[in-house]
Structure 1
Amino acid sequence: MTAVTRLRPMAAAFLGMAATFSQAQPAPEPTPLADLVTLQAELAQPSKPLTWVISGDSITQGAKWLGRERSYPELIQERVRWEMNRRRDFFVNSAISGEKTAGLRADFAWRVLRFHPDVVSIMIGMNDAVAGPAGRAAFEAELREMVRQVRVAGAIPLLHRTNPVDTDNPDTLTRTDLPAYNEIIAQVAGSTGTILIDHWTRWLEARPTVAGRREWLADPIHPNGAGHRQFAIEFFKAIGRYDSAAASTRP
């Protein structure tokens, strides 16, 4: 028996152990930084177009309350496709007025996954908050499931906290639990390693009074054009592509 022949069983055993060890190692957990690095690397390749799906409720749909103004998905598209010269990027806004997490998750295959997205942006919770404390667990579960499905599809998820509302107006009395729902959004983003666009905190810092907040609201709940521009500004700050000189996101 030659030395090579004697070494073959040892080599096979070593390779088997290495394969077993490799299979036993869990995949690295996603992190906001990892997603951000990946997204910025993708954006640095203008010849490689991305598909962006933006979904949520009436705020994201931009329905009714904006008039001639543009919604934040439209401003994001303007910035990416024109100002950043990514003209072949493809944008879908699949938001529906009145939507809740259960409805979006149930329709996720049609409204999100069939487009084979690279990036999925979700702002939802304004209508879920009407359920109050009793709806919190279901809201969290639905949100987590959507993030999971986005990652399984190989896309980067982005979660938005909502804007605060006009708490002095009786029309918002059904949404007194909105702060708790926004805390859930932040918790889900943190525990799933998802990029968070924190409109809630930004609005409360920039417009701490209800009177000041009304400058960004079209009605007690829905943002006006200025509010949507703030959404777009925070979006690009979160992904590292904000430019104060850009026309699309100029306050």
Structure 2
Amino acid sequence: MDFTADEYARRDADRLREILSGPPVTWVFLGDSITQGVAHTHGHRSYVEHFAERVRGELGRRGDTVVNSGVSGATAEDLLSEFHWRAGRFAPDVVFVMFGTNDILAGDDGVRGFRYRIDQIVQRSRDVGATVVLQTPPPVLEGDGRTPRVLALYAEAVREVARDLGVLVVDHSAAWREAADGEVAPEGWLDDSFHPGSRGHHELTLTLLSTLGIADGSSAVCSLVIEDGVGANA
């Protein structure tokens, strides 16, 4: 059966609600070093780890499996050539996709190809029976071959795929821009010019959980306060 984009969006929203109240499932996160959560969290939890704690711990879904298939330095093109190893073999029920931070090194000319590859990741994920959640990458500062202007083009490409295919999108780029008060990114959320630090990862978590409808200000994960890289419950 062929679905329209709107029908896919409604179906996926319904399916996510069912998943969160149903039997154990497998969640797979695809992305680059931000998803892998290496080094720049300085020993604190990455956004994937926060998600796992919220779902498996606080929501009591102990039988769920959360797979972090993020690979430092990866692009959407890299993922496509390794899709089975990094996603398909886990028979995922839900696949989260966040690329763009490394892809932007291809500049303006790379946007069209990037958009196509995100489209293909969605299609392949659906082919293995997964519900897909796209995520825009957080903003970057000027440097290391990256610019905020080009990052914005790639973030918009993710939104376009989400609209065209009826996929839920977690818009970190927009959330950070709104919180930045005229700056590129809020102070203290990035550990360098493009890697979120421990505070940044927690903010990624809050946007993700809010988009999925499972944020709760009274939970330990959601109420965590991170100051100067040190986590403490409020």
Q: What TM-score, normalized by structure 1, do the two folds share?
A: 0.84
Cα-to-partner distance string for 1:27-82 (whole Å, 9 max, x where unaligned): 3324333211111112112xx10100001000000011111211000000000000
Counterpart residue number, 2:216: 243
The answer to whether 1:35 aligns with 2:35 is: no
Q: Which runs of 5+ in 2 are unaligned?
A: 226-234
SS of corresponding position for 1:214: coil
CA distance in 2, matches of 1:80, 1:165: 29
Are the structure 2 counterparts of residues 51 and 208 from structure 1 closer, same or farther at C-alpha, using a change threshold of 3 Å?
A: same
Q: By percentage of residues, which structure has more helix?
A: 1
Counterpart residue number, 2:141: 166
- Percent pairwise identity: 36
Alpha-carbon shift at residue 166 of structure 1 (Å): 2.3
Judge conservation of contact 2:177–2:183 (CA < 8 Å) in 1.
no
Letter paired with 1:135:
G
CA distance in 1, matches of 2:128, 2:25: 14
Alpha-carbon shift at residue 102 of structure 1 (Å): 0.5
The answer to whether 1:111 aligns with 2:86 is: yes
SS of corresponding position for 1:184: helix
Counterpart residue number, 1:64: 39
CA distance in 2, matches of 1:234, 1:94: 20
Judge conservation of contact 2:30–2:70 (CA < 8 Å) in 1.
yes
CA distance in 2, matches of 1:233, 1:115: 26
SS of corresponding position for 1:28: coil
Cα-to-partner distance string for 1:116-158 (whole Å, 9 max, x where unaligned): 0000001101110110111111111111011001111111001
Letter paired with 1:242:
A
CA distance in 2, matches of 1:70, 1:118: 23
Counterpart residue number, 2:172: 199
CA distance in 1, matches of 2:133, 2:184: 30
CA distance in 1, matches of 2:45, 2:28: 17
Letter paired with 2:56:
R
SS of corresponding position for 1:70: coil
Number of residue pairs matched by the alignment: 222
Letter paired with 1:139:
F
Judge conservation of contact 2:177–2:184 (CA < 8 Å) in 1.
no
Higher gyration radius (CA): 1
Moved segments of 4+, more than 4 Å: 172-176
SS of corresponding position for 1:151: helix
Are the structure 2 counterparts of residues 179 and 42 from structure 1 closer, same or farther at C-alpha, using a change threshold of 3 Å?
A: same
SS of corresponding position for 1:177: helix
CA distance in 2, matches of 1:145, 1:151: 10
Are the structure 2 counterparts of residues 212 and 231 from structure 1 closer, same or farther at C-alpha, using a change threshold of 3 Å?
A: closer
CA distance in 2, matches of 1:221, 1:71: 15
CA distance in 2, matches of 1:132, 1:234: 27
Counterpart residue number, 2:28: 53
Cα-to-partner distance string for 1:141-192 (whole Å, 9 max, x where unaligned): 111011001111111001000111223xx33545641110000000001111
CA distance in 1, matches of 2:145, 2:186: 14
Counterpart residue number, 2:232: none
CA distance in 2, matches of 1:177, 1:37: 34
Are the structure 2 counterparts of residues 156 and 211 from structure 1 closer, same or farther at C-alpha, using a change threshold of 3 Å?
A: closer
